[in-house]
Structure 1
Amino acid sequence: MEEDYHYLPSFDSEHDMQRIDGVKTFFHEFYIESKKLWSLASPAISTSICQYSIAQITQLFAGHLGVLQLAAVSVENSVIAGLCYGALLGMGSALETLCGQAYGAKQVDMLGVYLQRSLIILNTTVLALVFFYLFATQILVLIGQPMDIAKWAGKFSLWMIPQLFAYAMNFPIQKFLQAQSKMMVMAIIAAVALVGHTLLIWLFMMKMDLGLVAGALVLNGSWWFMALAQFVYILCGTCGEAWSGFTSKAFENIWGFVRLSLASGVMICTSIVGWMFMLCIGFNAAISVRVSNELGAGHPRAAKFSVLVVSITSLLFGVIITIALFLARSRYPPLFTNNFEVQQVVSELTPLLGTTIMLNGLQPTLSGVAIGAGWQTYVAYINVVCYYVFGIPLGLILCFILNRGVKVIVIF
């Protein structure tokens, strides 16, 4: 029998949050909800920053090998790996809706089935995404990258294929743990991976001078360590009824899961950006868990208030990050490259980047609301229109016809 993919029982007004009837009540409820959100968001933010920093540290050390190596790793991270990362992260986000609502509705036994189903779909998807790694050089040349950078990035991409399969393992496992609010174990594993990665990258790339190949091998190893460590944690019985072993149910009604995964993939893939996005991903995960759990339990008023609290918090974070970037605009570029000209360009672009971050900080958080409520399809349509009907054509006109240069890339 085909199971329902959204656990939305009749509303339970008795156990839902009471109506707010004054300023004092609002701030009291705001404080309570903030504590709930931060208990989820803090480890989620830590996990996201650690995972993102693993790639950025590799890029940082590559910058000290030379400008060409920095460009190659940067292009591979942002174009080849970035595209696949966004697609797989988004498809894995279908699990946030299903597991979150099932957990809220006390259908805990279905979480393990959904996890296995997502693993099947994402690992199958990876087989298609390998194409981008195998033909990275040709793809990069086709989109206008210089031949020397494209060749270096293409070679680096070939070494990074194992990371792609680690993505397919890691993202579903993380969503499975998030739905049960088991965020801290992910943060600890990611922090251990980051420390180990930094030491090994420094040893192999700087002290032993083994070049980009060593960087690729360490980067692959770090991602596989995180994926396997989280999976071992699940197998140890820490998730109770949520994991009862492998089952053939994972192969049932797989097309319905694919549809939700594809919608999630389109939604997330159109909005990947930097360390600020890693902060927002923490709020994305937290609000997704809160909304899906509250809706699954039949508490719509609590879900709405949670959305309000996380939106205000995200906007404040955007303002703080923008101010910090502006104040440090001449200090952080040397961390990434020894090239003075590149440092100057980054410093000049920082005010514009900060403004963009402040304006875009709310978008990933609202995407988390959509994931928690199961609205991925609608948001996917909106994102496609905004990015590919308006954003990209306008960006191409400003960049190549009106010659506005790299500033257009920062804006869009």
Structure 2
Amino acid sequence: MDIEVLQEHPIMEEKPLRIWKKAMYFPYRKQIANKWWEEFKKVWHIAGPAIITSVSVFSLDFITAAFVGQLGDVELAAVSEVQNVLLGFITGIMLGLGSALETLCGQAVGAGEFNMLGIYLQRSWIISMVTALLLTPAYVNASRILKLLHQDPKISDLAGKFAIWTIPEIFASALNYPTEKFLQAQSKVWFMAFSTMLTLVIHVLLNWIFVTKLGMGLVGAAISGNISFWILTVVKIIYIVCGWFPEAWTGFSYLAFKSLTKFLKLSISSAVMLCLEVWYYTAVILIVGGLKDAAIAIDSISICMNLQVWTLMVALGFSISASVLCLSYLAVLATASAEGLPKTAALPTKVEVRSVYTLPSPDPTVWDFTGVRVSNELGAGNPKAAKFTVGVNVLISAILGVFFAVIILATKNQFPRMFSKEQHVISETSKLSYILALTIFISSIQPVLHGVAIGAGWQFLVAIVNFGCYYGLGLPIGALLGYKFNLGVQGVWSAMLGGSLLQTIILFVIIGRTNWHKEALQAEARVRRWGGSVETQLGS
């Protein structure tokens, strides 16, 4: 899919709001709007299914929590501990192992070696399934592990029971994550979107049958999750092996067992930084689980964390489409203004500067359109356009953050009822609504800043910032406020929010002090060093 990249032009130095004001009086508004709509449809061909996939997959656990929450506060706390501690721990590993496949499949597609895709997929299946087998004892002994981590004994016992029943889901995930990367590498995003939506509908129906109608409680919720994840996985595997990929899938091969050691090393290195991101939330739940009235504390913070992540994915999706919408519109405006067209002239058709990129992962923690925009602009030698892209995306994301924060505050006494009917849980969750609203606002901006850093090639620097803010500041201060100063779950989350706020400020400072002209030159040098070539015309 080709995506427009902004032309270098002095208008990019102006503030976004001022340009929007000028655009409203531009004589070719109607023609610009038509071009804008065409580009909007092109981008949503990729952005739409990726958003649907991300939201649908996350909503599987979201739905489970909503049904279990109606059983009681202890049951919800038990499921939350399994989802956020055990499953969170394993998900970090599985996603990390899968990210190695993403790299290799992307390179294979770029090199035209489609026959290697099936081999890479099978190697990843082998490693992931062995990993799932090695991690199974953690689920079998979940109750003992949680008690060793000073979690509430009653919650730990229920969590252990639920964890044992969810063991089949581990192996479904072990096959599912590599399969997703295989499909992503070949841009089969619409199939992924439809399959996840279908699974989500089935998951709601299964929970209604097993949890509500048959009254099977936690066991019913676990069975529903197992069936749903296996349906999702099997549908994708059937799609792959039944002849839809004649070049990429040529059948099972003994070559899958070759070079497993090298593949494993790449998988482990890919998993490390992703695990640090995912396990941060695991650590937060563990800290909260040791507080007084642990069931209420875990319930309230898990409800808020679920809503935060869900709104983050929705906001990210709207940010992607709105960013492209805005930037495509301004690209046409800038070009038309630069050419000094008379009022009777038609809009220029040569505005496009095309740049092709590989579709990234739909996972919201890594899938950010801003990074693509910035890397495209720097690679094309357009430092001013890259800077302008940052400003517009931050503005749009901030507006979306305010929108969701206002909704949370307006419904602070209603949204907790989606997950629990216990009045003390509803009351405690409502008290967290102000912190949740501020967290959602900051989280809406963070993906843009992360995307800028990735687009500019600052991954290692961001990893250091993340580690320092989360593990060096957020968790220690959270434990101190929660236990020493008896501020409970509000103290823990306030520190978590403080770490995120500090991270956002640091990234703002780094980006604000960046010499974009220099970054564009460095991007050109990297492309040349990697064997490519670019022609740039850098502004002074």
Q: TM-score range by the shorter chain?
A: 0.7 to 0.9
Whether the aligned pair in 2 keeps the contact of 1:63 and 1:70 (CA below 8 Å) is: yes
- Name the counterpart of 2:11: 23
1:357 — aligned with what? Answer: 440
Q: What are the equivalent positions in structure 2 for 1:286-305 lying under 5 Å apart?
A: 286-287=367-368, 291=372
| Alignment check: 8 A CA contact 2:52 2:193 kept | yes
Distance 1:370 1:237 in 2: 40
Give the aligned partner of residue 217 of structure 1: 223
Mapped contact 2:370–2:393 kept (Cα < 8 A)? no
Report the AA paired with residue 276 of structure 1: T
Match of 1:9 in 2: none
Question: CA separation in 2, counterparts of 1:151 and 1:371?
Answer: 42
1:276 matched to 2:330? The reply is no
Given residue 310 of structure 2, which amino acid in structure 1 is its aligned partner? W
Partner of 1:53: 59
Q: Partner amino acid for 1:318? A: G
**2:92 corresponds to which letter in structure 1?**
G
**Distance (Å, rounded) in 1 between the aligned partners of 2:238 and 2:37:** 36
Q: TM-score, normalised by structure 2?
A: 0.64
Shift of 1:334: 0.7
The yes-or-no answer on 1:81 pairing with 2:69 is no
Alpha-carbon distance in 1 for matches of 2:275, 2:70: 30
Map of 1:340 onto structure 2 = 423
Aligned residue number for residue 477 of structure 2: 394
In the TM superposition, residue 366 of structure 1 has moved relative to its aligned partner by: 6.4
Alpha-carbon contact 1:399-1:408 (below 8 Å) kept: yes
Partner Cα distance (2:105, 2:270) in 1: 14
- Give me the whole-angstrom Cα distance separating, in 2, the residues matched to 1:310 and 1:240: 40
Q: CA deviation at 1:108?
A: 3.3
Match of 2:151 among 138, 145, 152: 145
Change (3 A) 1:221 1:378: farther
Cα deviation for residue 244 of structure 1 reads: 2.8
Q: 1:187 to 1:312 in 2, by over 3 A?
A: farther
Q: Which residue of 2 aligns with 1:8?
A: none
The answer to whether the 8 A contact 2:368-2:447 is kept is no
Q: How is 1:5-404 mapped onto 2 (pairs within 5 angstroms)?
A: 19-23=7-11, 38-272=44-278, 274-279=309-314, 280=316, 284=365, 286-287=367-368, 291=372, 308=390, 314-363=397-446, 382-404=465-487
Task: Return the letter of the residue paired with 1:171.
Answer: Y
Give the Cα separation in 2 of the matches to 1:368 and 1:108.
29
Deviates more, 1:258-267 or 1:147-156: 258-267
Say which SS state the counterpart of residue 270 (structure 1) adopts: helix
Q: Give, in whole Å, the separation in 2 of the partners of 1:125 and 1:346.
A: 36
Whether contact under 8 Å (1:111, 1:176) holds in the other structure is yes
Matches of 1:374 and 1:244, distance apart in 2: 36
| Residues 16, 207 of structure 1: alpha-carbon distance in 2 compared, 3 angstrom cutoff | closer
Counterpart position of 2:299: none
Query: CA 1:302 to 1:255, structure 2 compared with 1: closer, same or farther past 3 Å?
Result: farther
Residue ranges of structure 2 left out of the alignment (5+ in a row)? 20-31, 279-304, 317-361, 497-540
Change (3 A) 1:101 1:162: same
Of stretches 91-100 and 150-159 in structure 1, the one that deviates more from structure 2 is: 91-100
Contact 2:73/2:425 (CA < 8 Å) preserved in 1?
no
The residue type paired with residue 42 of structure 1 is: G
TM-aligned CA deviation for residue 19 of structure 1: 4.7
Equivalence for 2:493:
410
Structure with higher Rg: it is: 2
Does the 8 Å CA contact 2:7/2:382 hold for their aligned counterparts?
no
The range that moved more, 137-146 or 281-290, is: 281-290
Describe the superposition over 1:152-171 as per-residue Cα deviations: whole angstroms up to 9, x where unpaired. 00110000111111111111
Check the 8 A contact 1:398/1:404 in 2, yes or no: yes
| Cα deviation 1:74-94 (Å, max 9, x = unaligned) | 221111112212221232122
Q: Percent identity?
A: 39
Matched AA of 1:218: S
Q: What is the TM-score of this pair, normalised by structure 1? A: 0.82
Structure 2 counterpart of 1:324, which letter?
A: I
Counterpart-to-counterpart distance in 2, 1:247 and 1:300: 41
Higher relative contact order (Cα pairs below 8 Å, separated by 6+ residues): 1
CA distance in 2, matches of 1:248, 1:159: 33
C-alpha distance in structure 1 between counterparts of 2:423 and 2:256, whole Å:
54
C-alpha spacing 1:367/1:186, structure 2 compared with 1 (3 Å): farther
Residues 1:164 and 1:362: Cα distance change in structure 2 (over 3 Å): farther
